[in-house]
Amino acid sequence: MRGSAFFQRAFRTFREHPTFFKLLIVSTVSGGGLLTFSDASPFQGLITESSQNEGKKKKVVVLGTGWAGTSFLKNLKSSSYDVQVVSPNNFFAFTPLLPSVTNGTVEARSIVEPIRNIVKKKPYNVEFKEAECYEIDPVNKKIYCRSNQSSTLDGIEEFTVDYDVLILAMGARVNTFNTPGVEEHAHFLKPGKEILKPRLDLTLQEVGDAQRLRKSIIDCYERASLPSLSEEEKKRVMHFVVVGGGPTGVEFDKRITTFATEKFQRDGIDVKTGSMVVKVSDKDISTKERKTGEIVSVPYGVVLWSTGIATRPVVRDFMNHIGQAKRRVLATDEWLRVEGCEDVYALGDCATINQRKVMEDIAAIFRKADKTNTGALDLKDFKEVVRHICERYPQVELYLQKNKLKSFDALLKNAQGDDKKQIDIETFKKALSEVDSQMKSLPPTAQVAAQQGEYLAKCFNRKELCEKNPEGPLRFRASGRHQFHPFRYRHFGQFAPLGGEQTAAQLPGDWVSIGHSAQWLWYSVYAR
């Protein structure tokens, strides 16, 4: 009760102070699914169609209502857009508390907020459609949607929505690595299967993976208390398996890993590394030891699969259309624009930022720096573009940090070995040759998605302003400047509740906090 009341207060705080959640440090990702509905006249304009052609407003279509989409909707302040939101969920779920729904500390409805509530008093026009997009046509700027109401009484409704600007924020799905039996038998804490087929069977998929997992675990206990079960069968149903060692599992900073592993051992949880699941049947899970190649089969009651994410089929099809067929994940540039098509943005788990390599642009950068065109760099002139280089190629800064260099100057000095006044292209290349090694993809976390949503909304808010006065860094391969600053991720660390009152926290500046105190640190982030 105490816990539940706390969470409700925390969530209320979050709702009332949305910017506050920048401090919110989480690694759980979107998923789940719950039924929610705004009490306050949620169907304004239900029957009448909205005025879609009012003046020259741009029609922005947002696909998805997870962290990325909701953060975009919350932060969009400009009245110069008509916004259409299409999502199979009419709510936003505060996913960090999903595990608490499974263990029963917090009620599912306490962690969801109706989308119509979230956009209620925004200056832009907005409409919500509870449906799933199953095809994107970037040529005709159109998306194809299918309703997903589960009522037995209705057929499937299909419709199209035109867009001027499309924002993909539909998240990802669980990666089963095509392991046989996983889709059929495992539980997930985010969408495990595509839900493109109509839900006419009242299976209540919307009530959420977390709730279903809870139910399955309780079922196992109830089953184990039946008199007809053999001892062997009782042991089987009381055996719970978690596959995956991400933040959902036990893989963090090394100190955290050690702490978590030890805690799990004390709790009677057997942590098995270096083995891979090769098959899940209805009653057994088979693993292959990486070293010996041995196949071991273990009977289980419930399997939770949490091994990372994969691209949704609709996004995969879209990638094939726009020349990204060979990529594993949908790629955007640093401004979150999808590469290979116009007016489509992608954020959150459904895309990755394809960072530009310094070495690819090295000649252009040098030319830009070499104002006097002498083939050798004058440091004074060069300093003018350093800021732009650091902004355009964030890996430069990371490289400096990692090698404990104070400035770009130091980097160049390092390469030269002494303090020459002039730098030629070869020295320049040598200095920057290692920089690109610092590029890495952002993790598929709520934190990244929310920051991207906020970033994009702020760009949209300043679109007209920045068309006249671009604020971004210099274009090295072309003239002029970029319209906006590129997206830059700020890592606030991450928390992982480990059961009981134990939490592990990894904070910026290489801080690690473990145990009770971290739990209260986590709480303090919400409760003020």
Q: What does the binding site for its own copies look like in residue numbers (CB under 8 A)?
A: 35, 37, 39, 42-43, 46-47, 49, 90, 104, 107, 109, 127-131, 147, 149-154, 157-159, 161, 184-185, 201-204, 206-207, 211-212, 214-216, 218-229, 231, 234, 237, 282-283, 300-302
Q: Which is nearer to its own copies, 112 or 351 (CB)?
A: 112
- Min CB(304)–its own copies separation in Å: 13
CA-CA-CA-CA torsion sign (242, 246, 248, 252):
positive
Q: Which is nearer to its own copies, 227 or 480 (CB)?
A: 227
Q: Which is nearer to its own copies, 281 or 427 (CB)?
A: 281
Q: Are the beta carbons of 62 and 169 closer than 8 angstroms?
A: yes
Q: Which is nearer to its own copies, 134 or 489 (CB)?
A: 134
- Min CB(149)–its own copies separation in Å: 4
**Amino acid letter, 333:** D
Q: Which is nearer to its own copies, 284 or 409 (CB)?
A: 284
CB atoms within 10 A of CB 468: 7
Q: Which is nearer to its own copies, 157 or 501 (CB)?
A: 157
Angle at 358 between CA 353 and CA 362, to 5 degrees: 145
- Min CB(193)–its own copies separation in Å: 12
Contact residues for 403 (Cβ-Cβ < 8 A; gap 6+): none
Distance CA 85, CA 63 (A): 6
Distance CA 319, CA 356 (A): 19
**Amino acid letter, 528:** R
- Min CB(166)–its own copies separation in Å: 17
- Min CB(31)–its own copies separation in Å: 17
- Min CB(44)–its own copies separation in Å: 10
Q: Are the beta carbons of 307 and 177 closer than 8 angstroms?
A: yes
- Min CB(81)–its own copies separation in Å: 18
Q: Which long-range contacts (CB under 8 A, 24 or more apart) does 426-434 make?
A: 428/362, 428/366, 428/377, 429/359, 429/362, 432/358, 432/359, 432/362, 432/396, 433/359, 434/399
Contact residues for 158 (Cβ-Cβ < 8 A; gap 6+): 144, 145, 146, 147
**Amino acid letter, 118:** I
Q: Which is nearer to its own copies, 300 or 399 (CB)?
A: 300
